[in-house]
Structure 1
């Protein structure tokens, strides 16, 4: 993917008095009282907005929240206004819609250095259909476009891709830029040895990532529920652990592919097993090749942690996607927490550590080490697709960087 033009290349002369349509990702979790339970995504959007405000822009914020079918009050963005206002130090105005006459009036009233938040763009089914007429209506509100919503960059929607056809320049925000620098830059040109740690419950959801990473890494660590499909493919007994029977041949072929590519593929040598899937299950540690009937593996064992840590000590770039075990249960969180601590430790010694979205982010935050990593990706599906080597429509639609050509 070509390097994209960044908002940082636009200066006051380009921005002052201009209406800027900024697609952000404010898809945050809300509790039953509509209070934000995790404002990470809101905070991540702040640098781009502040930069635009500092250069005298009139900022129009657009986002989705949840998966509404039509106008659904519980998916309104209104509860976010106080927190966004607080973080920006500006009173954010809120529109009751994202297109139409009322919105146009509110846009016309935005002062330089002012912010208007549009209502949930997914209240219109045309958003996800990338309907050109709808995209044109959104675009008509502004003079230029900034996409800072990495979490939806893998979707060609009206507010992420369609509007770019009607607004120039169309540039990447700072968050989008950082995601691309790390997830594309570090992966295509890593400091070696380069390792990937892939976990999670199912091989099926990570096939693309594993295949793509086998072309690039020196060491691949596997953990999480998916390892039992690999063990079974090697003829080991896995008790009642999670296995994808239809993926046994694939697991065997991935092991073969690692061998032929000279990639060191490490599977856990021991596992923590449980007699049921519950926080209070009885548990014990057994060799990975010897799980008794009626027991299921829910975490990697102490020997595996030691082996993984020693191998990680040799590496310079590490990308982590997916937990090592059922870390939501304290009893089965040791493997995931050990990996998080190890990566924090390696970051401190100069290694590049990238947490590639999804559950690994939650795990790193749970142990309070998020700020120790080189980069924490805000996208789940978008991060996976980039790691699979796919191009993201929301990124492709942006202008190519002029700086890169100089």
Structure 2
């Protein structure tokens, strides 16, 4: 376990400043409830039942994007999931926020829970952005204003632990700091593949569009993973490196391949040379035909890429399934296709189904990939852990430290010293 303290170590009835991550899709102006909301609602419920009074911080979107909105709707979603009112405060450290924080009252337990408020989108706050060293963030007016108003800080947002923003790394520099339930749980499972011993083969299923991070994860886990099963953009890039005429952009298609390949060609070649016999790439790929139906090409038959490939094909799934089923551990990161479109969900769903029904240890990482499980009615109990983290999850797999975790560890050293 990491060298940080958790909220389980706290005495009941504290005033806590809590960072969560409920960054969500927005459709037609409405925030969509996601697994992140559900997981953090469990944490909030647990903290309130311990009598803690909570001022909650979160972000939504990035400046300049359509998803960069206030957290008013987020407070409503959380209130419904928690079963307690979480009041929205349209300020983070202004007068309105300070007044609301001052009025927070702790409780005594389940029958008398503490109060909770949700402060405004922290990315609308001066000092939150950009990424800067923790000691710089600790000196922002944002951090200096709020730090003295609470007994402790709790970071429950593992999925943003790779961001050196004020709400993540600034407060632990100047306050007693703890990992919340989601943070502790995510850290434990997402670092488990490198730390655990398994009685059998370890398999990684890798897909999605973030090729650079995925390839770095493969490179880092060469000595841990026995077989890599590829799909999505990264699968096509590896096929291109093997000499197949796929893995490049089409004139009328998305720009997903050429820049990625240019940046990573040397590393892909190096990985293939060092342990290519342990890397399985798709043998067929699915696309949308002229009638709007799913169709498939055998990779060996492709002489020129003329369509956008949206999923791995049935023969690839038949190749991957027994490898997954016979593994002692399976780690999944990234979808094998455009799973949101039911026509192209087959590869992702069926490989996940095989993982969930196997007897091995199984962790599924990345918010989108985890969403496939509930979207297509797979049995959640078959998976040891469904992570809500994306970028932080990949950082953990590549062996890079997470600044948010490191901030909690430094705080623990200071507190213990």
Task: State whether TM-score is above 0.5.
Answer: yes
When residues 105 and 341 of structure 1 are mapped into structure 2, their CA distance, relative to the original with a 3 A threshold, is same
Compute the TM-score of the two structures, normalised by the length of structure 1.
Answer: 0.86
In the aligned structure 1, how far is the partner of 2:313 from the partner of 2:139? 53
Measured against aligned partners, the alpha-carbon deviations of 1:234-289 in whole angstroms (never above 9, x if no partner) come to 22333977753524443222111215xxx62212223335568xx91672332x22
Compute the TM-score of the two structures, normalised by the length of structure 2.
Answer: 0.84
Segment of structure 1 superposing worse, 196-205 or 149-158: 196-205
Measured against aligned partners, the alpha-carbon deviations of 1:282-323 in whole angstroms (never above 9, x if no partner) come to 72332x222132345432222221121111122111111112
When residues 221 and 86 of structure 1 are mapped into structure 2, their CA distance, relative to the original with a 3 A threshold, is same
8 Å CA contact 1:20, 1:145 repeated in 2? yes
In the aligned structure 1, how far is the partner of 2:41 from the partner of 2:368? 23
Matches within 5 A, 1:7-406: 7-10=7-10, 14-16=11-13, 18-34=14-30, 36-68=31-63, 75-112=69-106, 113-129=114-130, 130=137, 132-133=139-140, 134-168=142-176, 170-191=177-198, 192-201=200-209, 203-238=211-246, 243-244=257-258, 245-246=261-262, 247-259=264-276, 264-273=278-287, 280=292, 283-286=295-298, 288-293=299-304, 294-346=306-358, 349=359, 351-369=360-378, 371-372=380-381, 373-399=383-409
Aligned pair count? Answer: 387
TM-fit CA distance, 1:368: 2.2
Measured against aligned partners, the alpha-carbon deviations of 1:161-184 in whole angstroms (never above 9, x if no partner) come to 10111211x110110111111011
Q: Tell me, what secondary structure is at the counterpart of 1:25?
A: coil
In the aligned structure 2, how far is the partner of 1:122 from the partner of 1:128? 7
Q: Tell me, what secondary structure is at the counterpart of 1:15?
A: coil
8 Å CA contact 1:5, 1:172 repeated in 2? yes
Alpha-carbon RMSD: 2.7
8 Å CA contact 2:294, 2:343 repeated in 1? no
In the aligned structure 2, how far is the partner of 1:86 from the partner of 1:20? 21
8 Å CA contact 1:370, 1:376 repeated in 2? no
What residue ranges of structure 1 are gaps of 5+ in the alignment? none
In the aligned structure 2, how far is the partner of 1:382 from the partner of 1:235? 32
What residue ranges of structure 2 are gaps of 5+ in the alignment? 107-113, 131-136, 250-255
Measured against aligned partners, the alpha-carbon deviations of 1:107-136 in whole angstroms (never above 9, x if no partner) come to 121122111211111112410233622222
TM-fit CA distance, 1:75: 1.1
When residues 370 and 397 of structure 1 are mapped into structure 2, their CA distance, relative to the original with a 3 A threshold, is farther
TM-fit CA distance, 1:399: 4.0
